[in-house]
Chain A
Amino acid sequence: MAQAQDKTSTVNVKLLLIGNSSVGKSSLLLRFSDEQWLPEDEASATIGVDFRVHKMEVKGKKVKLSIWDTAGQERFRTITSSYYRGAQGIILVYDVANRESFDALPRWYSELETYVSPSVVKIIVGNKVDKEFSRQVSHSEGQHFAERMNSLFFEASAKTSIGVREAFQEVVEKILDTPELWAPLGHKARGVSVGGSGADSMPGSINLSRTESAGDADSGGCAC
């Protein structure tokens, strides 16, 4: 559990960015990472890297954050399943000036139900608030939907960097406060192995370190 972690050791957290194309997922990521530790003119040098490793300190703990981005592959609806493996936090992004991207959120939630454990922290980020004049989704609508989905909510702008840092900070804090996400390995795997066939014999079991979150969805609270 997070609380049990040694103060000096680093906590690894995996975040995943999902949402329709063109909502600005990669811009959010780039903005967050640029602001954090990349000098301006090196931004282009990092082009083409789909995840970032970033160290930050949250609540006095050292956190090593790896952030994964599915940008460009949104329409391969199932191919990105390996992205989900081991994610502790999901950032669902929509564009406040694009109704369609907001209306697509339930579909992304149904994908999450399939791939990740219910305890995984979800945050909805309404991006592009700099385009206030062409806003199509109000703040309160976004807020209400997030509450209904038991998710955090933030509005942000990758362009002006409003709310970006706060959103990432918030989701990491919540992850650290969620003990289920820090359950020791084997806790869930035991349930699997009792059945006679080890987790190894199942497909999709590379990256074993956190496969149990998928196992959760299977045997536990899966909504099917």
Chain B
Amino acid sequence: MDGRIPSSERDSMDSLVVGLAANAHITVQSLEALLAAEFDQSDISQGGYVAPIELQKSHPVDIQGEDVVDMELALSRPGIRAMKPVDSAQASSTPYHSSSQSSDVLPDLQGRSRSGSLVDPVTPTWPEQSESGTLVAQSALGAESPDPLAGVDEEDPSPPSKSPPRAAAARKLVKLLGEEAPRHVLEKYNADSKPWYLRQNYDPSQILIDPDGAVRAGAPAALIERLTAHEYMDPTFNQNFLLTFKSFLTVDELFDLLVSRFSIEAPDGLAPAESDEWKKMKQKIIQARVLNIFKTMVTEDGILEKEDMGILGRLKEFASREDVANSAAKRLLIFIERAQRGEYATVKISPAPLSPPPPVLPRSCKKLKLLDIEPVEIARQLTLMEFAMYKKIRPMECLLRSKETKPGRNSDNFSSIIQLSNKIAHWVAETVLEKEDPRERANIIKHFISTAENYSSMAAIVSGLVRQPIRRLRRTWERVNARYMTQLRDCESTLDTNKNFNNYRSTLARIAPPCVPFIGVYLTTLTFIHDGAEDKLAGMINFRKRQKAAEVIQDIKRWQSKPYNLQAVASVLSFLEECVGKYSDGVDYADQFWNLSLEREPREREDEKMARLLQESGFL
């Protein structure tokens, strides 16, 4: 066959030689890798891996081989892009001779095959790769979505599964351990087996991966590479990255890094076939991933803030570039334009399908008093007030909150919730104290106890009722019957600080949205994340720390996503706003409430108390 190389391809002889050399090198590497794999396997068979694998049980491995399943793709195109499991890849592969004879395979490929058969006849890796590559390309074509706006991801070709030398080790590991095979070990086997030009670009020292496969730390460029990796997709990492990148990169810096990632250039010395493979298996995928990240940034709530919208202009410019323009970029342009018109900012949660329960309206519409309004309706309207505030919390505020330097100076959405909470507590306390008659005070207390519905107002109301000036009103509490006391005690124990709000956390874990959580717990967690871990690890971004913060942010977002199916009642809302509006956050009401409390129920000695009790019972 060598003698029949067309003359037109003589020019590429030089690169062919380079390619051959590279192939020989790869083969040597493959052999070494095989050897290493054998060692690893013998370790496994001796049980050497049992302990670390035990630790990984919570991370089910992707049995389809080296590719982390692309969830977006998998969900949007069920069944079409079936990836071959590692096991079947070997079986279904065509022998390379037939594949090279039946198609116009470039001479470089033949050279590779030959070198493979010369040096390493046992591992005919190449034909399998080209074979499965073709399969995926076809299925990707067949999957073209009819809806041009269905998503940029439609064109996201994922790398086909391959059966590289070390994959044998990975296969064996999967066979041995099934779904429990540690993903990072598999990834490493598979990654090491790739041709050099298809591997990651970053230096392995630029990233630290934890045993569970999550990123512990990394240099920004390495993190960006992982965000847009051609070899796998890690949706959790991507989500965490996008929620927290602002703590180590500006939006413009991220944009620049992503653009330069898009403009990735082929390494020097690639033969034409290698170059083709590089384009198909690496460049195209990376570029599609970059466009996808941009799409996510533009369309998803909570990533770009109002002040970040300037990036849309740059993004538009980028998506219109000649070397970028393709159908995905065109769709991205449409998304950008929508974002520029503010469409995503105004897209709100869809209203509940059911009609809200009818409000319990107060009988008189004149000047409202607390006891005129049913507790359930006060609870509902308070909930609406609080949910409206809670819904506004932005991921960025969570990051800022945790590194706040000047307390009390910032007026973010957290502050307004805290202020409302403090004001409700003041209002509760003073409303009780205002009443001169202990029976009336007890009625107010009972009314408020019945009002504690969502966790945010529950915290405020309980805090108002159990503060010392109220707690000490013995003659009042004597008139609050057991039913209410039990209810109050339940609230108290729900919000008990013990074991880091253990009760509260487990209660919250049991319920489904809607709910307004008590944000104090989130704030403490964010503070601990911030103070408890360094921003950098060994000079790299401590991504574990960002991951932790992202988990809190997602928890907060979870309760934001579902609105209450309740009807606002203007008269009650304005009554409540007026009541809590009397208090200002900076003022310390403690002394005022103490004095009022002592006035209502003065301290008394035992004899004084006896005298009062006798008098009250009509004995004297």
Interface contact B468-A114, CB-CB below 8 Å: yes
Q: Do A50 and B497 touch across chains, with their CB atoms under 8 A apart?
A: yes
How long is the Cα–Cα vector from A68 to B525 in the complex, in angstroms? 13
Chain A 179-195 interface 0/1 with B at a Cβ cutoff of 8 Å (1 = within): 00000000000000011
Bound CA span A27–B527, Å: 10
Scan A46-74; emit 1 where CB is below 8 A from any B CB, else 0: 11111100000000000000001111111
Q: Which residues on A sit within 8 Å (CB–CB) of B603? A: 219
Q: Which B residues from 140 to 172 make CB contacts under 8 A with A?
A: none
Given A21-B407, A114-B590, A206-B496, are A218 and B528 neighbors across the interface (CB < 8 Å)? no
B56 sits at the interface (CB 8 A):
no
A30 to B408, CA, bound (A): 24
B466 lies within 8 A of A110 (CB): no
Contact call A203/B477, Cβ cutoff below 8 A:
yes
Cβ B524 vs Cβ A50 within 8 A: yes
In A20-37, the 8 Å CB interface with B consists of 20-22, 24, 26-27, 30
| Count of chain A residues with a beta carbon within 8 Å of a chain B beta carbon | 54
Most B CB within 10 A of own CB, among A78, A197, A206, A219: A78
Known: A69-B524, A204-B471. 9 other contacts (CB 8 A): A43-B532, A51-B500, A76-B520, A82-B492, A101-B407, A202-B474, A202-B477, A214-B468, A224-B598
CB distance from B539 to the nearest CB of A (A): 16
CB atoms of A207 and B421 under 8 A apart: no
Q: Are B415 and A72 in contact (CB under 8 A)?
A: no
| A24 and chain B: residue at smallest CB distance | B531
Nearest A residue to B468, CB-CB: A114
Interface residue B594 (Cβ < 8 Å from any Cβ of A): yes
Contacts of A218 in B (CB 8 A): 468, 471-472
Within 8 A of A (CB), among B577-620: 588, 590-591, 594-595, 598, 603, 606, 609, 613
Q: How many residues of chain B get a CB closer than 8 Å to chain A's CBs? A: 61
A51 to chain B, nearest CB (A): 7
Partner of A78, one of B404, B422, B533: B422
Is residue A4 contacting chain B, with contact meaning CB distance below 8 A?
A: no
* CB–CB B531/A30 < 8 A: yes
Our pick among A79, A110, A206 for the contact of B520 (Cβ within 8 Å) is A79
Are A111 and B471 neighbours in the complex by a CB distance under 8 Å? no
| B527 partner, pick from A71, A81, A195, beta carbons under 8 A | A71
- Whether A72 and B527, one on each chain, are in contact in the complex, defined by CB atoms closer than 8 angstroms, is yes
A21 to B520, CA, bound (A): 13
Set A20, A44, A49, A74: member contacting B500, Cβ < 8 A: A49
Interface presence of B488 (CB below 8 A): yes
Distance to closest chain A CB from B599 (angstroms)? 11
Q: What separation, in Å, do the CA atoms of A147 and B606 have in the docked complex?
A: 37
Q: Which residue of A lies closest to B501 (CB)?
A: A50
A76 to B459 CA separation, bound complex (whole angstroms): 10
Contact with A along B479-523 (1 / 0, CB 8 A): 000000100110011011111110000000000000000001011
Measured CB to CB, the closest approach of chain A to B541, in angstroms, equals 14
SS class of chain A's interface: helix, strand, loop or mixed?
A: loop
Q: How far is the CA of A76 from the CA of B417 in the complex (A)?
A: 10
Compute how far the CA of A115 lies from the CA of B501 in the bound complex, rounded to whole angstroms: 20
Residue among A30, A49, A71, A115 with max Cβ neighbours from chain B (10 Å) = A71
Q: How far is the CA of A75 from the CA of B527 in the complex (A)?
A: 13
- B524 A73 Cβ-Cβ under 8 A: yes
A148 within 8 A of B: no
A77 to B598, CA, bound (A): 21
A residues near B595, Cβ cutoff 8 Å: 224
* CA–CA, A27 and B525, complex, Å: 13
Which chain B residues border A75 with CB–CB below 8 Å?
Answer: 407-408, 415, 418, 422
Q: How far is the CB of B486 from chain A (nearest CB, A)?
A: 11
Find chain B residues with CB under 8 A from A22 CB.
404-407
**Residue in A closest to B425 when the chains form the complex, CB atoms:** A78
Complex contact B523–A48 (CB within 8 A):
no
Contacts of A50 in B (CB 8 A): 497, 500-501, 524, 528
Tell me the nearest residue of chain A to B492, going by C-beta: A206
The CA-CA distance from A83 to B498 in the complex, in Å, is 8
- Pairwise interchain contact A21-B498, C-beta atoms closer than 8 A: no
Asked if A217 lies at the interface with its beta carbon under 8 angstroms from chain B, I say yes
A80 B407 Cβ-Cβ under 8 A: no
A74 to B524, CA, bound (A): 9
Q: Which residues of B contact A69 (CB under 8 A)?
A: 524, 528
Are B497 and A107 interface neighbours, CB within 8 A?
no
Asked if residues B533 and A44 are in contact (CB atoms below 8 Å), the reply is: yes
Asked if A44 and B544 sit within 8 Å, CB to CB, the answer is: yes
Tell me, yes or no, whether A201 is within 8 Å of chain B by CB. yes
CB-nearest residue of chain B relative to A83? B497
B467 contacts the other chain (CB 8 A): yes
Of all chain B residues, which has the CB nearest A85? B497
Query: Is B114 an interface position by the 8 A CB rule?
Result: no
B545 interfacial by beta-carbon distance below 8 Å: yes
A21 pairs with B404, CB closer than 8 A = yes
Looking across the interface, which residue of chain A has its beta carbon closest to that of B498?
A207
Q: Is B478 a contact of A204 with CB atoms below 8 Å?
A: no
Known: A50-B497, A77-B422. A71 touches B463 (CB 8 A): no
Q: Is B315 an interface residue (CB 8 A)?
A: no
- CB-CB under 8 A from A76, the residues of chain B are 418, 421-422, 459, 463, 520
Q: Give the shortest distance, in Å, between B329 (CB) and chain A (any CB).
A: 40
Q: How far is the CB of B357 from chain A (nearest CB, A)?
A: 29
Query: Could you say which residues of chain B place their CB within 8 Å of the CB of A101?
Result: 407
Given A43-B533, A46-B532, CB of A81 within 8 Å of CB of B466: yes
Q: Which of A101-153 contact B (CB under 8 A)?
A: 101, 107, 110-111, 114-115
The answer to whether the Cβ of B184 comes within 8 Å of any Cβ in the partner chain is no
Q: Report A-chain residues with C-beta under 8 Å of the C-beta of B606.
A: 194
* B529-572 interface bits toward A, Cβ cutoff 8 Å, 1 = contact, 0 = none: 10111000000000011001000000000000000000000000
Q: Please give, as numbers and ranges, the residues of chain A lying within 8 Å of B464 by CB-CB distance.
A: 78
With A24-B531, A26-B532, A81-B467 already in contact, the answer to whether A68 and B477 are too (CB < 8 A) is: no
**Which of B474, B545, B548 has the most A CB atoms < 10 Å from its CB?**
B474
Q: How far is the CA of A195 from the CA of B613 in the complex (A)?
A: 11
